[in-house]
Chain A
Amino acid sequence: MMFAHARACAFLGAALTGAFAVHASAAEIRVACYSDGNECEVTQELAKRFETQNPDVRIAIDKVPYKAITEQLPVQLAAGEGPDIARVTDLGGLSKYYLDITPYVKDPKYWEANFGQTLKWLRPTPTDKGIYGMMTQLTVTGPFVNKTLFEQAKVPLPGANATWGDWAAATRKVAKATEVPFAMAFDRSGHRFAGVAISQGAKIFDAKGNLTIDDGFKATAKRFYDWNRDATMPKEIWGGVGGSSYRDAFEEFANARVVLYLSGSWQINRMDKQIGTNFDWIAVPNPCGPAACTGVPGGAAFVALKRTKNPKDVGRFLDFLASEPVYAEYMAKTENIPAHAGLSKKGIDYKVSPQANAALKVFVGDVAKLSPIAYEIQGYKYNRALFNSTTTRLGQAIAGEMSLDDAVKRIAADIDEQVKAAGK
């Protein structure tokens, strides 16, 4: 009984001190991180190395789901709370919270030379020249295809310059022959849709630089709508949930229920782990349209946040991560495409399966074919207005709630309203 009593008191004591714990005297940096594959684990590994090299800093990596970054982080930041560094994808939308770490990095010119293109995405205004963070990857949207199904159906793979129409026809044939329920699937995301639209001739921006829904966009919407309604695509992806919530079609592809899957390069790690050699999965170059054969670039960046109390240490840590050897290691371990100009030229020694290697090569090749409009929309501050409204309204049309024409009209109205409000 005495022992139990002592144990109870000890537990109580420990719990109480745990609740009011005073942190160690080392400066602490909190990093809010979400993983596509294993980014946060690798970050943690590198952070530990940084800690041994810099014992006066402690790095705490908070692994959170993607939803927390998109839904909770902005509200926290707006209320003056949040971490010191965050891995975010809404690069322009959150830019008002970023901290310029130019005074805290060793060599700003190194940053400019190697991350120049993507640093623009993080700047609040076009004329700004600050360094606000580091891209943890360059991602490109593009399709994955189940090659084994093509082989079983004895249908030849469309070539490098095939159009979306060609792919639709080919995958339909394959699906029929192999009793696979659907030919193609897109992730439920306006971001994926945009690449297809740009290829089909959508200009996205009008002469004044504002978002616009033109004929190219409308034509793509109609095609996409038809595909969903005639069972070329599974309508429960876009039409099965509400609002602008994200839903990927990965499991459909992994379970061989779909022949072609439009997603992006960040899925390679996951494909390797979950599908492995169950079937031959390959990446193919973005199908063409009359205007381009493009995907949309993107990626998540570690951004420094204004509210931090340790800007110097934040700068040091990001500098560490951005240094060539560390960044190269980061890319190799997370199987991501580098946003680092120097490393892009040198190439990364990916220790990955041959399938992943081949896929990465295709995506790297796609980077060269990206349309300038695609770069622009990725860097545009209010691109979420376009992406989210597309997802919501097309989703409603596919679910049968409104006609396609109505949906397109609503997309334009939604964009107007949101951009106007954001501009106030």
Chain B
Amino acid sequence: MLASSRLPLRALAVAIATVALNAVELPMRALQRLLGVPRIGWVFVTPNLVVLGLFTFLPIVIDFYYAFTGGVQLDLRARPFTGWENLQTLFECGSYLDPSTCRKDLFWRAVHNTAWFALLQVGLMVVLSLVTALVLNRKILGRGFFRGVFFYPVLLSPVVVALIWKWILQREGLLNAMLHSAGIAGPVWLNEPGWAFSWSVFVSIWAHMGFYTLILLAGLQAIPADLYEAAEMDSASPWRRFYRITLPLLMPNLLVVLVLAVIRAVQMFDEIFVLTGGGPGSATLFIVQFIYQTAFAESIRLYGLAAAASLVLATTLLALTVVQLRISRQGLSGKAGRDDG
């Protein structure tokens, strides 16, 4: 029933597409005559650039403007110029290592939380992804199935992920029920600062590790099998094989995964926001949530401060991306002669 109703729809879609495309061709030919072949590339790239310009680059510029102005107005013209004041407020601290000595203690708590989170989450996740990739690389039945198993949570939306785990971690949720049957009284997990943080790390690992597992798995599978056979003939131990063959050849992928994961961890927001809302207190408050809170959740909105914090975050991410590009370029040169596509 469905298939038969799709056919005329498909014909309709194809018809529309052909007409539209042929219509576009005329002006394109004209432009081609005007600009010549290499420069026609500009026309192809323009739609993407326009969208990026309007919705990414222009806002960045406006963000700077917000950061250097004060007041609570959204309208740019109504904002008084305050210069470095916002950034100075942000960085006013007795000691950067102790948020409680800072004027914007919540910002610095967020910075510390994010730093620890990035460290722990990425560290654990990369190790787990590597282990999983190694296991999946073996000759086992149902390998494709298991590969999908680890990848499934990656597809779920952050809201869904957070709600699933929130449900399990309730005072009378599944986890506490299982502990109860073992005679242990579980706490209200998400209401204890230490536990809330640990669970944030766990949940985000759960939701993302499948992605990195796949990347590492692809890297492992690209290692030529004859290297291993040669090693076996030299009766090298499995550990030696790993250390001497797998690790060095996988290093480019590992580094890429590492940096990608850190960049993502630093930007963590959606699932943690729904899971804990930054609480208890500010135990799971991360930078992006601080920005969101300052600009949206407070009744008196300090857009300038939020923008200043955004710039700090952007600088961090810029540094990390540069690192990542350097690494992947090095990695590429080390993989000369390998077929990737």
Chains A and B in contact, CB within 8 Å: yes
Contact residue among B74, B284, B285, B300 (Cβ-Cβ distance under 8 Å from A418)? B300
Question: In the assembled complex, how far is the CB of residue B59 from the closest CB belonging to chain A, in whole angstroms?
Answer: 13
Known: A4-B1, A413-B103. A421 touches B72 (CB 8 A): yes
Contact residue among A384, A399, A406 (Cβ-Cβ distance under 8 Å from B280)? A399
Contact residue among B5, B103, B282 (Cβ-Cβ distance under 8 Å from A401)? B282
A160 CB-CB contact with B under 8 Å: no
Q: For chain B residues 64-96, which have a beta carbon within 8 Å of chain A?
A: 70-75, 80
B331 CB-CB contact with A under 8 Å: no
CA A272 to CA B197, docked complex, whole Å: 38
Let me know if A421 and B279 touch, CB within 8 A.
Answer: no
Let me know if A421 and B74 touch, CB within 8 A.
Answer: no
Residue-wise, chain B 27-69 has the 8 Å CB interface mask toward A (1 for contact) of: 0000000000000000000000000000000000000000000
CA A288 to CA B279, docked complex, whole Å: 32
Let me know if A74 and B277 touch, CB within 8 A.
Answer: no
Q: Which of A46-54, A236-244, A316-324 contacts B (4 or more CB under 8 A)?
A: A236-244
A7 CB-CB contact with B under 8 Å: yes
A8 CB-CB contact with B under 8 Å: yes
Question: In the assembled complex, how far is the CB of residue A91 from the closest CB belonging to chain B, in whole angstroms?
Answer: 11
Contact residue among A71, A239, A406 (Cβ-Cβ distance under 8 Å from B296)? A71
Let me know if B283 and A384 touch, CB within 8 A.
Answer: no
Task: Output the nearest chain A residue to B188 by Cβ-Cβ distance.
Answer: A236
Let me know if B279 and A243 touch, CB within 8 A.
Answer: yes
Question: In the assembled complex, how far is the CB of residue A195 from the closest CB belonging to chain B, in whole angstroms?
Answer: 19
Contact residue among A245, A398, A400 (Cβ-Cβ distance under 8 Å from B297)? A245
Let me know if A399 and B193 touch, CB within 8 A.
Answer: yes
On chain B, the residues within 8 Å of A421 by CB distance are 70-72, 300, 302, 304
On chain B, the residues within 8 Å of A384 by CB distance are 298-300
Known: A8-B8, A236-B191, A410-B105. A241 touches B279 (CB 8 A): yes
Contact residue among B80, B278, B279, B284 (Cβ-Cβ distance under 8 Å from A424)? B80
Let me know if B276 and A242 touch, CB within 8 A.
Answer: yes
Let me know if B72 and A424 touch, CB within 8 A.
Answer: yes
Known: A78-B73, A236-B188, A384-B299. A241 touches B9 (CB 8 A): no
On chain B, the residues within 8 Å of A419 by CB distance are 300
A90 CB-CB contact with B under 8 Å: yes
A402 CB-CB contact with B under 8 Å: yes
- The interface size of chain A toward B, counting residues with CB under 8 Å, comes to 45
Task: Output the nearest chain A residue to B278 by Cβ-Cβ distance.
Answer: A242
Q: For chain B residues 280-303, which have a beta carbon within 8 Å of chain A?
A: 280-285, 293, 296-302
CA A424 to CA B78, docked complex, whole Å: 10
On chain A, the residues within 8 Å of B304 by CB distance are 421
A19 CB-CB contact with B under 8 Å: no
Let me know if A243 and B293 touch, CB within 8 A.
Answer: yes
Residue-wise, chain A 75-113 has the 8 Å CB interface mask toward B (1 for contact) of: 100110000000000100100000000000000000000
Q: For chain B residues 6-36, which have a beta carbon within 8 Å of chain A?
A: 8-9, 12
Let me know if A399 and B279 touch, CB within 8 A.
Answer: yes
Let me know if B281 and A395 touch, CB within 8 A.
Answer: yes
Q: For chain A residues 162-197, which have a beta carbon within 8 Å of chain B?
A: none
On chain B, the residues within 8 Å of A399 by CB distance are 193, 279-281, 283
Task: Output the nearest chain B residue to A79 by Cβ-Cβ distance.
Answer: B74
On chain B, the residues within 8 Å of A9 by CB distance are 8, 12
Task: Output the nearest chain B residue to A93 by Cβ-Cβ distance.
Answer: B299
Let me know if B300 and A401 touch, CB within 8 A.
Answer: no
A210 CB-CB contact with B under 8 Å: no
Question: In the assembled complex, how far is the CB of residue A247 from the closest CB belonging to chain B, in whole angstroms?
Answer: 9
A370 CB-CB contact with B under 8 Å: no
Let me know if A243 and B297 touch, CB within 8 A.
Answer: yes
On chain B, the residues within 8 Å of A294 by CB distance are none
CA A398 to CA B279, docked complex, whole Å: 12
CA A384 to CA B301, docked complex, whole Å: 11
Q: How many A-B residue pairs have CB under 8 A?
A: 116
CA A245 to CA B9, docked complex, whole Å: 48
B307 CB-CB contact with A under 8 Å: no
B328 CB-CB contact with A under 8 Å: no
Question: In the assembled complex, how far is the CB of residue B65 from the closest CB belonging to chain A, in whole angstroms?
Answer: 15
Let me know if B280 and A1 touch, CB within 8 A.
Answer: no
Let me know if A245 and B277 touch, CB within 8 A.
Answer: yes
Question: In the assembled complex, how far is the CB of residue A100 from the closest CB belonging to chain B, in whole angstroms?
Answer: 21
Which of B80, B190, B298 has the most CB atoms of chain A within a 10 A radius of its CB? B298
CA A265 to CA B289, docked complex, whole Å: 33
Question: In the assembled complex, how far is the CB of residue B283 from the closest CB belonging to chain A, in whole angstroms?
Answer: 7
CA A23 to CA B300, docked complex, whole Å: 36
Contact residue among B75, B100, B193, B278 (Cβ-Cβ distance under 8 Å from A243)? B278
On chain A, the residues within 8 Å of B301 by CB distance are 74-75
A70 CB-CB contact with B under 8 Å: yes
Question: In the assembled complex, how far is the CB of residue B292 from the closest CB belonging to chain A, in whole angstroms?
Answer: 10
A385 CB-CB contact with B under 8 Å: yes
CA A90 to CA B74, docked complex, whole Å: 18
A396 CB-CB contact with B under 8 Å: yes
A220 CB-CB contact with B under 8 Å: no
Question: In the assembled complex, how far is the CB of residue B251 from the closest CB belonging to chain A, in whole angstroms?
Answer: 39
On chain A, the residues within 8 Å of B280 by CB distance are 236, 239-242, 395, 399
Let me know if B73 and A242 touch, CB within 8 A.
Answer: no
CA A240 to CA B281, docked complex, whole Å: 7
On chain B, the residues within 8 Å of A90 by CB distance are 299
On chain A, the residues within 8 Å of B9 by CB distance are 8, 12
A334 CB-CB contact with B under 8 Å: no
B4 CB-CB contact with A under 8 Å: yes
On chain B, the residues within 8 Å of A244 by CB distance are 297-298
Which of B276, B278, B281 has the most CB atoms of chain A within a 10 A radius of its CB? B281
CA A279 to CA B262, docked complex, whole Å: 53
CA A25 to CA B312, docked complex, whole Å: 50
A388 CB-CB contact with B under 8 Å: yes
Let me know if B296 and A242 touch, CB within 8 A.
Answer: no
Known: A4-B1, A5-B5. A93 touches B300 (CB 8 A): yes
CA A188 to CA B185, docked complex, whole Å: 26
On chain A, the residues within 8 Å of B285 by CB distance are 242-243
- List 13 A-B pairs, Cβ < 8 Å: A4-B4, A4-B5, A9-B8, A74-B301, A75-B74, A236-B280, A240-B279, A241-B279, A242-B281, A245-B279, A245-B297, A402-B100, A417-B302
User: 5 tightest CB-CB pairs across the interface, nearest first?
Assistant: A242-B278, A399-B281, A242-B279, A384-B299, A78-B74
With A245-B297, A398-B281 given, can you name 11 additional A-B contacts, CB distance below 8 Å?
A: A1-B5, A9-B8, A71-B297, A239-B281, A242-B276, A243-B293, A244-B297, A399-B281, A402-B100, A421-B72, A422-B300
Please list the residues of chain B having a beta carbon within 8 angstroms of any beta carbon in chain A.
1, 4-5, 8-9, 12, 70-75, 80, 100, 103, 105, 188, 190-191, 193, 276-285, 293, 296-302, 304
